Amino acid sequence: MSNELIEFVLVSVALLGIGIYGLSVKRNAIRMLFAVEIIVNAANLNLIAFARFMPHSGGQTFALFSIAIAAAEVAIGLALIIVAYRMYQNVDIADFRSLKG
Amino acid sequence: MAILGVVGMIIPIISIARKERGSVTFYAAIAFAALFISLVFVLSQVWSENISPAAIFSDDVLVDDTFGSLFAIAMLIVSIFTVIGSLNYIRKQANPAIYFSLILLSSIGMVLVAYSTDLVMLFVAWELMSLPTYILAGFAKKNPASNEAALKYFLFGALSSAIIIYGISLAYGVTGSTNIGEVIQGFATADASLMPLALLSVGLFIAGFGFKMGLVPFHMWLPDTYEGAPTPITTLLAAGTKKAGFAAALRIIVMGAVALNLDWTAALGVIAVMTMIVGNIAAIMQKNLTRMLAYSSIGHAGYILIGLAIAPYTSLGIQGSLLHILNHAVMKGAAFIAATGIIIVLATTHLDKIKGLGRRMPITSLGLVISLFALAGIPPLNGFWSKLILFGAAIDSGSVIWWGPWLAIAGVLTSALSLAYYGWITRKMYFEGEKEKRVKEPKSIIAVMIFAIIFIVGFGVYPEPLIHFAETAVPALNSGLIP
């Protein structure tokens, strides 16, 4: 593995760590959505960086797929968060307690 | 299969063309027809054996093999259950056309996950399966429980797909390909310095698919979502999307781990035991039928995982898993549809409210009790045979690994435990309460119950065809690809 590639992989692993930290510590639904997006973007960075050092560009194509899917996912997530906000006047998932057992 | 996607996209257009006057029954009929045609198509292919033998690898992005067909049959049956069960359930909701369209899109996603042999295809199909279910879980948008269920499901689901795509990106980096066969071959021949990345990749796959499969410790969203979501959608989640997780896990994790030559089976064995114990013990303490079924479905993910854990030691392991996947889809699907029927009539599934249900709703109760006993593994119901094969395979593997029989012991003990709470429900329904009058049961629920009873008892008394089908669907490990 060349040195340049290692730098990209390190950044993306750091982003993965930030994303997982954000998901496990934050309780605000929008922040958690951000954390998930950071992980997706870390994966995209990986794909593009690896594709740069490969004889074909499959990784870049896949990154485009993944960006499009992530956009759809965010659209659904924000819609769900808006509906929840209308009901609870709050987007803190620790306050959503209609279900437990 | 394409019919599912086409019809799924056409339904909203029909609804606009008819100025949204179409009834629930009309859209349900279209969805049912599309699913039924697909199911008949898959069954006829399997029947005529006009289909390639179970292959994990293919040069193409999709492969039409017996392994994928087994999953496709289970998922299509569950989708049909969901459509029929929704008939009476969603009459009060707006947008019936969108509802059925999303169910169709999600089921084509599940089927494509089962058939895909390329990581890009797998990921796109995975998202096609997941995105509609996030909306469906929150479809009762005036209901706080449904809302909360959808939001929790969305956050964990989005995390699981983010983790999966990270795992795919690492696999691509290590092997330079996204074809599952080439990835696994690449793992086996990878440079030693790349090994940590390959291991991280397989670990991320286990976590990502584990979220959908509801394995402990990735299960915390599952009971809330299953309880809060509209119950027909819970059927789709518990019996459908969960199986897609197993399809992907079998194709990637089991094969990838064999290639990496890891001592990974012990890790899966530990997860299996934890999943069985946590699921079944938590189920005992529940006061709500849907929530209890949700925990029991966690426990069943543990039983299925036994087969994955012992896959390299005996071919019976995967055969048992596949058989249990097919059986569990029908049993759990029927149980959740029965819960739907109870909600339609009683508006609750609290266990204190179902006293004397056997006299109020005799057919629904009979279907529920038979599917519960099948889940517990009572002979001669179909759940007995799949558990027998799984536990037998676990004991068989004891000649190679010392902890194999312990999986069987944990499985038998937790099955006995599950019989306790299933028996408790049965006692409440048949031996408590008095003077309940028979009420009118929804016809759609009765139809599902009758089909499920015939399937469960029929394949319990005469299991050979299913066992044989599961045997043909077992993919060959080390099928000449790994040097």
pLDDT tens track for B177-227: 888 888 888 888 888 888 888 888 888 998 999 999 989 888 989 999 999
Q: Which residue of A has its CA nearest to B283?
A: A101
**Contact state of A99 with B148 under an 8 Å Cβ cutoff:** yes
Q: What's the pLDDT at B481?
A: 42
Question: Per the structure block, which two tokens stand in for A86?
Answer: 């209308």
Residues B220-233 as b/e (b if ≥16 CB within 10 A, e otherwise) read ebbbbbbbbbbbbb
**B 207-246 near A (Cβ less than 8 A):** 223-224, 227-228
**B60: which residues sit within 8 A by CB, 6+ positions away?**
B117, B118
Average pLDDT over residues B442-463: 93
B151, B285, B288 member nearest A29 (Cβ)? B151
Name the residue with higher pLDDT: B12 or B96. B96
Neighbours of B483 (CB within 10 A): 7
A30 touches chain B (CB under 8 A): no
- SS3 (DSSP) at B124: helix
B154, B165, B168 member nearest A80 (Cβ)? B154
**Contact state of A1 with B152 under an 8 Å Cβ cutoff:** no
pLDDT of B16 > 80? The answer is: no
Q: Which residues of A touch B286 (CB under 8 A)?
A: 101
Name the residue with higher pLDDT: B247 or A93. B247
Range in A58-67, B19-28, B152-161, B186-195 the model is least confident about: B19-28
pLDDT digits (tens, 9 = 90+) for A50-59: 998 888 888 8
A77 touches chain B (CB under 8 A): yes
Q: Check: CB of residue A100 under 8 Å from CB of residue B148.
A: no
Chain centroid to CA A72: 13
B176 touches chain A (CB under 8 A): yes
Residue B179 is given by DSSP the state B
Q: What's the pLDDT at B374?
A: 94
Region of residue B214 (phi > 0: left; psi between -120 and 50: alpha; otherwise: beta): left
A25 touches chain B (CB under 8 A): no
**Contact state of A33 with B148 under an 8 Å Cβ cutoff:** no
Q: What's the pLDDT at B328?
A: 95
Place of tokens 């299991």: B463
Q: What's the pLDDT at B482?
A: 40
Domains and CATH numbers, chain A: 3-95 (1.10.287.3510)
Query: In this structure, which amino acid lies at residue B114?
Result: A
pLDDT of A101 > 60? The answer is: no
A96 touches chain B (CB under 8 A): yes
Question: Per the structure block, which two tokens stand in for B255?
Answer: 């094969």
Neighbours of A71 (CB within 10 A): 9
**Contact state of A29 with B158 under an 8 Å Cβ cutoff:** no
pLDDT of A74 > 90? The answer is: yes
Question: Distance (Å, rounded) from C-alpha B330 to C-alpha B450?
Answer: 12
* B contact test, residue of A60, A96, A97 with most B CBs within 10 A: A96
pLDDT of B274 > 50? The answer is: yes
**Contact state of B147 with A87 under an 8 Å Cβ cutoff:** yes
Q: Which residue of B has its CA nearest to A72?
A: B131
A23 touches chain B (CB under 8 A): yes
The pair phi, psi for residue B352, each rounded to 5°, is -70, -20
Chain centroid to CA B240: 4
**Contact state of A93 with B151 under an 8 Å Cβ cutoff:** yes
Q: Check: CB of residue B151 under 8 Å from CB of residue B128.
A: no
How many residues in chain A? 101
pLDDT of A87 > 80? The answer is: yes
For chains A and B, count residue pairs whose Cβ atoms are closer than 8 Å: 124
Q: Which residues of B touch A84 (CB under 8 A)?
A: 147-148, 151
Q: What's the pLDDT at B6?
A: 75
pLDDT of B172 > 80? The answer is: yes
Question: Distance (Å, rounded) from C-alpha B372 to C-alpha B361?
Answer: 16
pLDDT digits (tens, 9 = 90+) for B72-81: 999 999 999 9
Q: Which residue of B has its CA nearest to A50?
A: B173
Average pLDDT value for chain B:
88
pLDDT-derived band of residue B2, with 50, 70 and 90 as boundaries? Answer: low
pLDDT-derived band of residue A2, with 50, 70 and 90 as boundaries? Answer: low
Q: What's the pLDDT at B263?
A: 67
Distance from CA of B85 to the nearest CA of A (A): 23
Q: Which residue of B has its CA nearest to A44?
A: B169
Any idea of the CA torsion for B464, B470, B471, B474, to the nearest 10 degrees?
180
B169 touches chain A (CB under 8 A): yes
- SS3 (DSSP) at B350: strand
Q: Which residues of B touch A39 (CB under 8 A)?
A: 159, 162-163, 166
Question: Distance (Å, rounded) from C-alpha A60 to C-alpha A16?
Answer: 19
Question: Distance (Å, rounded) from C-alpha B93 to C-alpha B100?
Answer: 12
Q: Which residue of A has its CA nearest to B229?
A: A99
In chain B, DSSP finds a helix count (H) and a strand count (E) of 21, 0
How many residues in chain B? 483
Place of tokens 């469906």: B136
pLDDT of B304 > 90? The answer is: yes
The pair phi, psi for residue B475, each rounded to 5°, is -75, 150
Residue B61 is given by DSSP the state S
**B 113-152 near A (Cβ less than 8 A):** 120, 123-124, 127, 131, 134-135, 138, 141, 144-145, 147-152
- SS3 (DSSP) at A55: coil
pLDDT of B350 > 60? The answer is: yes
Chain centroid to CA B171: 26
pLDDT-derived band of residue B456, with 50, 70 and 90 as boundaries? Answer: very high
pLDDT-derived band of residue B153, with 50, 70 and 90 as boundaries? Answer: very high
A71 touches chain B (CB under 8 A): no
Q: Check: CB of residue B289 under 8 Å from CB of residue B300.
A: no
Distance from CA of A84 to the nearest CA of B (A): 6
pLDDT-derived band of residue B480, with 50, 70 and 90 as boundaries? Answer: very low
Measured CA to CA in angstroms, residue A43 lies from A37, B172, B469 at distances of 10, 11, 39
Distance from CA of A81 to the nearest CA of B (A): 7
B149, B150, B158 member nearest A73 (Cβ)? B158
Question: Per the structure block, which two tokens stand in for B264?
Answer: 């990974």
pLDDT of B367 > 50? The answer is: yes
> How close are the terminal C-alpha atoms of chain A, in Å?
50
Q: Of B288, B367, B380, B283, which Cα lies nearest the Cα of B330?
A: B367
Q: What's the pLDDT at B191?
A: 83
Average pLDDT value for chain A:
89
Question: Per the structure block, which two tokens stand in for B441?
Answer: 């049961």
- Using a pLDDT cut of 90, give the percent of chain B over it: 53
- Using a pLDDT cut of 70, give the percent of chain A over it: 94
- SS3 (DSSP) at B378: coil
